[in-house]
Structure 1
Protein backbone atom coordinates (compact mmCIF):
# COMPACT_ATOMS: atom_id res chain seq x y z
CA UNK A 1 0.00 0.00 0.00
CA UNK A 2 1.42 3.40 -0.96
CA UNK A 3 1.91 6.20 1.55
CA UNK A 4 -0.60 8.38 -0.28
CA UNK A 5 -4.08 8.30 1.21
CA UNK A 6 -2.90 5.48 3.47
CA UNK A 7 -4.95 6.86 6.34
CA UNK A 8 -8.13 6.70 4.24
CA UNK A 9 -7.34 3.50 2.38
CA UNK A 10 -6.60 1.53 5.53
CA UNK A 11 -9.95 -0.20 5.78
CA UNK A 12 -8.87 -2.93 8.21
CA UNK A 13 -11.66 -1.75 10.43
CA UNK A 14 -14.18 1.08 10.46
CA UNK A 15 -12.72 2.23 13.76
CA UNK A 16 -9.24 2.67 12.26
CA UNK A 17 -10.59 4.72 9.36
CA UNK A 18 -12.69 6.84 11.67
CA UNK A 19 -9.75 7.41 14.02
CA UNK A 20 -7.51 8.34 11.09
CA UNK A 21 -10.06 10.83 9.77
CA UNK A 22 -10.50 12.27 13.24
CA UNK A 23 -6.73 12.73 13.58
CA UNK A 24 -6.54 14.39 10.19
CA UNK A 25 -9.32 16.82 11.04
CA UNK A 26 -7.89 17.63 14.48
CA UNK A 27 -4.46 18.23 12.99
CA UNK A 28 -5.44 20.47 10.04
CA UNK A 29 -8.91 21.88 10.68
CA UNK A 30 -7.74 25.06 12.42
CA UNK A 31 -5.14 25.78 9.77
CA UNK A 32 -7.60 25.16 6.94
CA UNK A 33 -10.27 27.26 8.62
CA UNK A 34 -7.81 30.14 9.08
CA UNK A 35 -6.83 29.91 5.41
CA UNK A 36 -10.45 29.94 4.30
CA UNK A 37 -11.28 32.86 6.59
CA UNK A 38 -8.30 34.84 5.31
CA UNK A 39 -9.65 34.49 1.79
CA UNK A 40 -13.39 34.90 2.47
CA UNK A 41 -13.53 37.16 5.56
CA UNK A 42 -16.64 35.31 6.71
CA UNK A 43 -16.46 32.75 9.52
CA UNK A 44 -19.56 30.80 8.52
CA UNK A 45 -18.56 30.64 4.86
CA UNK A 46 -15.03 29.58 5.86
CA UNK A 47 -16.34 26.72 8.01
CA UNK A 48 -18.61 25.55 5.18
CA UNK A 49 -15.73 25.73 2.72
CA UNK A 50 -13.47 23.60 4.95
CA UNK A 51 -16.20 20.99 5.24
CA UNK A 52 -16.58 20.94 1.47
CA UNK A 53 -12.80 20.58 1.11
CA UNK A 54 -12.75 17.60 3.46
CA UNK A 55 -15.58 15.93 1.54
CA UNK A 56 -13.70 16.44 -1.73
CA UNK A 57 -10.51 15.11 -0.17
CA UNK A 58 -12.29 11.97 1.02
CA UNK A 59 -13.90 11.47 -2.39
CA UNK A 60 -10.47 11.79 -4.02
CA UNK A 61 -8.99 9.19 -1.67
CA UNK A 62 -11.85 6.78 -2.29
CA UNK A 63 -11.32 7.16 -6.03
CA UNK A 64 -7.71 6.08 -5.78
CA UNK A 65 -5.99 9.28 -4.81
CA UNK A 66 -4.99 12.31 -6.82
CA UNK A 67 -3.78 11.33 -10.31
CA UNK A 68 -1.58 8.29 -10.72
CA UNK A 69 0.68 8.78 -7.72
CA UNK A 70 -1.96 9.40 -5.06
CA UNK A 71 -1.86 12.15 -2.44
CA UNK A 72 1.67 12.64 -1.18
CA UNK A 73 0.70 15.04 1.59
CA UNK A 74 -2.88 15.28 2.87
CA UNK A 75 -2.10 18.68 4.42
CA UNK A 76 -0.98 20.34 1.18
CA UNK A 77 -3.68 18.63 -0.83
CA UNK A 78 -6.34 19.93 1.60
CA UNK A 79 -4.80 23.42 1.49
CA UNK A 80 -4.95 23.34 -2.31
CA UNK A 81 -8.60 22.26 -2.23
CA UNK A 82 -9.45 25.06 0.23
CA UNK A 83 -7.61 27.63 -1.90
CA UNK A 84 -9.39 26.49 -5.06
CA UNK A 85 -12.80 26.46 -3.38
CA UNK A 86 -12.13 29.96 -2.01
CA UNK A 87 -11.38 31.15 -5.55
CA UNK A 88 -14.65 29.57 -6.73
CA UNK A 89 -16.60 31.28 -3.94
CA UNK A 90 -14.98 34.63 -4.73
CA UNK A 91 -15.94 34.26 -8.40
CA UNK A 92 -19.51 33.38 -7.46
CA UNK A 93 -19.69 36.40 -5.16
CA UNK A 94 -18.47 38.68 -7.94
CA UNK A 95 -21.13 37.31 -10.27
CA UNK A 96 -23.92 37.40 -7.71
CA UNK A 97 -22.83 40.47 -5.81
CA UNK A 98 -22.13 40.58 -2.11
CA UNK A 99 -24.39 38.55 0.16
CA UNK A 100 -27.17 40.53 1.83
CA UNK A 101 -28.82 39.73 5.13
CA UNK A 102 -32.58 39.41 5.29
CA UNK A 103 -32.86 42.58 7.38
CA UNK A 104 -30.92 44.53 4.77
CA UNK A 105 -32.95 43.00 1.94
CA UNK A 106 -36.16 44.38 3.39
CA UNK A 107 -34.80 47.88 2.81
CA UNK A 108 -34.03 47.11 -0.83
CA UNK A 109 -37.65 46.57 -1.75
CA UNK A 110 -39.27 49.22 -3.90
CA UNK A 111 -41.13 51.62 -1.61
CA UNK A 112 -43.71 52.32 -4.31
CA UNK A 113 -47.03 50.58 -3.74
CA UNK A 114 -48.08 47.72 -5.96
CA UNK A 115 -50.20 48.66 -8.97
CA UNK A 116 -53.45 47.30 -7.50
CA UNK A 117 -52.87 49.19 -4.25
CA UNK A 118 -52.17 52.40 -6.18
CA UNK A 119 -55.44 52.04 -8.11
CA UNK A 120 -57.36 51.38 -4.89
CA UNK A 121 -55.74 54.39 -3.22
CA UNK A 122 -56.68 56.65 -6.15
CA UNK A 123 -60.29 55.42 -5.96
CA UNK A 124 -60.42 55.99 -2.20
CA UNK A 125 -58.93 59.46 -2.65
CA UNK A 126 -61.62 60.33 -5.21
CA UNK A 127 -64.35 59.12 -2.83
CA UNK A 128 -62.91 61.10 0.08
CA UNK A 129 -62.49 64.18 -2.09
CA UNK A 130 -66.12 63.96 -3.16
CA UNK A 131 -67.24 63.48 0.46
CA UNK A 132 -65.19 66.52 1.56
CA UNK A 133 -66.67 68.63 -1.26
CA UNK A 134 -70.23 67.63 -0.26
CA UNK A 135 -69.94 68.39 3.46
CA UNK A 136 -70.47 71.78 5.10
CA UNK A 137 -67.46 74.07 4.79
CA UNK A 138 -66.98 74.37 8.57
CA UNK A 139 -66.82 70.57 8.99
CA UNK A 140 -64.32 70.28 6.16
CA UNK A 141 -62.17 73.11 7.46
CA UNK A 142 -62.17 71.77 11.04
CA UNK A 143 -61.23 68.27 9.84
CA UNK A 144 -58.43 69.46 7.55
CA UNK A 145 -56.96 71.87 10.09
CA UNK A 146 -56.94 69.12 12.72
CA UNK A 147 -55.78 66.13 10.65
CA UNK A 148 -53.59 67.81 8.01
CA UNK A 149 -52.24 70.90 9.79
CA UNK A 150 -52.21 69.33 13.26
CA UNK A 151 -54.06 72.17 14.96
CA UNK A 152 -55.64 71.63 18.38
CA UNK A 153 -59.39 71.91 18.92
CA UNK A 154 -58.89 75.15 20.88
CA UNK A 155 -56.87 76.75 18.07
CA UNK A 156 -59.41 75.68 15.43
CA UNK A 157 -62.23 77.01 17.65
CA UNK A 158 -60.52 80.42 17.90
CA UNK A 159 -59.89 80.44 14.14
CA UNK A 160 -63.49 79.53 13.27
CA UNK A 161 -65.12 81.49 16.13
CA UNK A 162 -66.71 78.42 17.77
CA UNK A 163 -66.11 76.44 20.97
CA UNK A 164 -63.61 73.59 21.09
CA UNK A 165 -66.51 71.24 21.93
CA UNK A 166 -68.23 72.25 18.71
CA UNK A 167 -64.95 71.70 16.82
CA UNK A 168 -64.86 68.14 18.17
CA UNK A 169 -68.44 67.56 17.02
CA UNK A 170 -67.70 69.01 13.56
CA UNK A 171 -64.60 66.83 13.14
CA UNK A 172 -66.58 63.75 14.25
CA UNK A 173 -69.39 64.53 11.80
CA UNK A 174 -66.86 65.05 8.98
CA UNK A 175 -65.12 61.75 9.76
CA UNK A 176 -68.44 59.92 9.80
CA UNK A 177 -69.29 61.37 6.39
CA UNK A 178 -65.89 60.23 4.99
CA UNK A 179 -66.26 56.73 6.44
CA UNK A 180 -69.78 56.43 5.07
CA UNK A 181 -68.53 57.36 1.57
CA UNK A 182 -65.82 54.69 1.75
CA UNK A 183 -68.27 52.10 3.12
CA UNK A 184 -70.75 52.72 0.26
CA UNK A 185 -68.01 52.15 -2.32
CA UNK A 186 -66.46 49.09 -0.63
Structure 2
Protein backbone atom coordinates (compact mmCIF):
# COMPACT_ATOMS: atom_id res chain seq x y z
CA UNK A 1 0.00 0.00 0.00
CA UNK A 2 1.40 3.37 -0.99
CA UNK A 3 1.21 6.04 1.67
CA UNK A 4 2.66 9.46 1.20
CA UNK A 5 3.72 11.57 4.13
CA UNK A 6 4.33 15.28 4.07
CA UNK A 7 7.86 16.39 4.60
CA UNK A 8 8.88 17.76 7.96
CA UNK A 9 7.10 16.90 11.20
CA UNK A 10 4.32 14.36 10.83
CA UNK A 11 0.88 15.72 11.53
CA UNK A 12 -1.73 13.72 13.42
CA UNK A 13 -3.33 12.66 10.10
CA UNK A 14 0.03 11.31 8.95
CA UNK A 15 0.52 9.37 12.20
CA UNK A 16 -3.02 8.02 11.92
CA UNK A 17 -2.34 6.90 8.33
CA UNK A 18 0.94 5.31 9.44
CA UNK A 19 -0.88 3.46 12.22
CA UNK A 20 -3.59 2.21 9.86
CA UNK A 21 -1.03 0.96 7.35
CA UNK A 22 1.42 -0.75 9.69
CA UNK A 23 -0.27 -1.59 13.00
CA UNK A 24 -1.67 -4.99 11.98
CA UNK A 25 1.64 -6.14 10.49
CA UNK A 26 3.55 -4.85 13.49
CA UNK A 27 1.16 -6.61 15.89
CA UNK A 28 1.58 -9.90 13.96
CA UNK A 29 5.35 -9.49 14.05
CA UNK A 30 5.27 -8.97 17.82
CA UNK A 31 2.88 -11.91 18.30
CA UNK A 32 5.17 -14.27 16.36
CA UNK A 33 8.01 -13.33 18.68
CA UNK A 34 6.09 -13.24 21.97
CA UNK A 35 3.21 -15.70 21.48
CA UNK A 36 1.02 -13.43 23.59
CA UNK A 37 -1.74 -11.44 21.86
CA UNK A 38 -2.16 -8.88 24.65
CA UNK A 39 1.57 -8.25 24.93
CA UNK A 40 1.79 -7.91 21.13
CA UNK A 41 -1.03 -5.34 21.10
CA UNK A 42 0.56 -3.40 23.98
CA UNK A 43 3.95 -3.53 22.31
CA UNK A 44 2.50 -2.22 19.03
CA UNK A 45 0.98 0.77 20.78
CA UNK A 46 4.19 1.40 22.69
CA UNK A 47 6.21 1.29 19.46
CA UNK A 48 3.96 3.93 17.89
CA UNK A 49 4.14 6.08 21.01
CA UNK A 50 7.92 5.96 20.99
CA UNK A 51 7.95 6.67 17.29
CA UNK A 52 5.81 9.77 17.75
CA UNK A 53 7.86 10.87 20.76
CA UNK A 54 11.15 10.56 18.94
CA UNK A 55 9.99 12.29 15.75
CA UNK A 56 13.02 10.72 14.06
CA UNK A 57 11.01 9.71 11.04
CA UNK A 58 10.52 13.26 9.86
CA UNK A 59 11.50 12.16 6.39
CA UNK A 60 8.85 11.97 3.72
CA UNK A 61 9.74 8.34 3.06
CA UNK A 62 7.01 6.06 4.41
CA UNK A 63 9.32 3.07 3.88
CA UNK A 64 11.87 4.52 6.32
CA UNK A 65 9.05 5.03 8.85
CA UNK A 66 8.13 1.36 8.57
CA UNK A 67 11.67 0.18 9.24
CA UNK A 68 12.05 2.58 12.15
CA UNK A 69 8.81 1.23 13.68
CA UNK A 70 10.02 -2.37 13.29
CA UNK A 71 13.32 -1.42 14.90
CA UNK A 72 11.49 0.13 17.86
CA UNK A 73 9.28 -2.98 18.16
CA UNK A 74 12.31 -5.27 17.99
CA UNK A 75 14.00 -3.33 20.78
CA UNK A 76 10.84 -3.44 22.89
CA UNK A 77 10.60 -7.21 22.39
CA UNK A 78 14.21 -7.68 23.49
CA UNK A 79 13.57 -5.50 26.56
CA UNK A 80 10.40 -7.44 27.42
CA UNK A 81 12.08 -10.84 27.06
CA UNK A 82 15.03 -9.71 29.20
CA UNK A 83 12.69 -8.35 31.89
CA UNK A 84 10.68 -11.60 31.92
CA UNK A 85 13.85 -13.65 32.28
CA UNK A 86 15.00 -11.47 35.15
CA UNK A 87 11.69 -11.13 36.98
CA UNK A 88 9.80 -14.14 35.77
CA UNK A 89 6.76 -13.88 33.60
CA UNK A 90 3.46 -12.96 35.18
CA UNK A 91 0.49 -14.79 33.76
CA UNK A 92 -3.22 -14.66 34.48
CA UNK A 93 -4.39 -17.10 37.12
CA UNK A 94 -6.33 -19.10 34.51
CA UNK A 95 -3.09 -19.80 32.63
CA UNK A 96 -1.03 -20.65 35.72
CA UNK A 97 -2.27 -24.25 35.66
CA UNK A 98 -0.76 -24.62 32.19
CA UNK A 99 2.66 -23.70 33.56
CA UNK A 100 2.57 -26.20 36.41
CA UNK A 101 4.45 -29.45 36.11
CA UNK A 102 2.08 -32.00 34.59
CA UNK A 103 3.67 -34.89 36.48
CA UNK A 104 1.83 -35.60 39.72
CA UNK A 105 3.67 -35.74 43.02
CA UNK A 106 4.54 -39.22 44.28
CA UNK A 107 1.86 -39.24 47.00
CA UNK A 108 -0.80 -38.06 44.53
CA UNK A 109 0.24 -40.77 42.12
CA UNK A 110 -0.05 -43.43 44.82
CA UNK A 111 -3.49 -42.18 45.90
CA UNK A 112 -4.66 -42.15 42.28
CA UNK A 113 -3.47 -45.74 41.76
CA UNK A 114 -5.26 -46.84 44.94
CA UNK A 115 -8.46 -45.03 43.91
CA UNK A 116 -8.28 -46.64 40.47
CA UNK A 117 -7.86 -50.10 41.98
CA UNK A 118 -10.85 -49.48 44.27
CA UNK A 119 -12.91 -48.15 41.37
CA UNK A 120 -11.98 -51.14 39.17
CA UNK A 121 -12.93 -53.55 41.94
CA UNK A 122 -16.29 -51.78 42.31
CA UNK A 123 -16.86 -52.03 38.54
CA UNK A 124 -16.01 -55.74 38.60
CA UNK A 125 -18.71 -56.33 41.24
CA UNK A 126 -21.44 -54.67 39.16
CA UNK A 127 -23.92 -56.70 37.14
CA UNK A 128 -22.89 -56.80 33.43
CA UNK A 129 -25.62 -54.44 32.12
CA UNK A 130 -25.02 -51.93 34.93
CA UNK A 131 -21.26 -51.90 34.27
CA UNK A 132 -21.81 -51.68 30.50
CA UNK A 133 -24.29 -48.79 30.83
CA UNK A 134 -21.84 -46.78 32.94
CA UNK A 135 -18.84 -47.44 30.69
CA UNK A 136 -20.76 -46.78 27.48
CA UNK A 137 -21.99 -43.48 28.89
CA UNK A 138 -18.89 -42.17 30.67
CA UNK A 139 -16.12 -43.69 28.57
CA UNK A 140 -17.64 -44.00 25.10
CA UNK A 141 -19.85 -40.91 25.46
CA UNK A 142 -23.01 -42.61 24.21
CA UNK A 143 -26.43 -41.13 24.95
CA UNK A 144 -29.01 -43.00 26.99
CA UNK A 145 -30.96 -43.77 23.80
CA UNK A 146 -27.86 -45.22 22.10
CA UNK A 147 -27.05 -47.33 25.17
CA UNK A 148 -30.65 -48.52 25.37
CA UNK A 149 -30.54 -49.68 21.76
CA UNK A 150 -27.19 -51.43 22.26
CA UNK A 151 -28.22 -53.20 25.49
CA UNK A 152 -31.82 -53.85 24.39
CA UNK A 153 -33.31 -52.03 27.40
CA UNK A 154 -35.32 -48.83 27.81
CA UNK A 155 -33.67 -45.42 28.22
CA UNK A 156 -35.14 -45.15 31.73
CA UNK A 157 -33.45 -48.45 32.64
CA UNK A 158 -30.19 -47.03 31.32
CA UNK A 159 -30.57 -44.12 33.76
CA UNK A 160 -31.25 -46.51 36.62
CA UNK A 161 -28.23 -48.68 35.75
CA UNK A 162 -25.93 -45.65 35.56
CA UNK A 163 -27.20 -44.24 38.87
CA UNK A 164 -26.77 -47.63 40.54
CA UNK A 165 -23.23 -47.96 39.20
CA UNK A 166 -22.29 -44.49 40.38
CA UNK A 167 -23.70 -45.10 43.87
CA UNK A 168 -21.79 -48.40 44.22
CA UNK A 169 -18.52 -46.85 43.00
CA UNK A 170 -18.92 -43.82 45.25
CA UNK A 171 -19.62 -45.99 48.31
CA UNK A 172 -16.52 -48.11 47.60
CA UNK A 173 -14.32 -45.05 47.19
CA UNK A 174 -15.68 -43.43 50.37
CA UNK A 175 -15.15 -46.69 52.31
CA UNK A 176 -11.57 -46.89 51.05
CA UNK A 177 -10.88 -43.32 52.21
CA UNK A 178 -12.28 -43.95 55.69
TM-score (norm 1): 0.47
TM-score (norm 2): 0.49
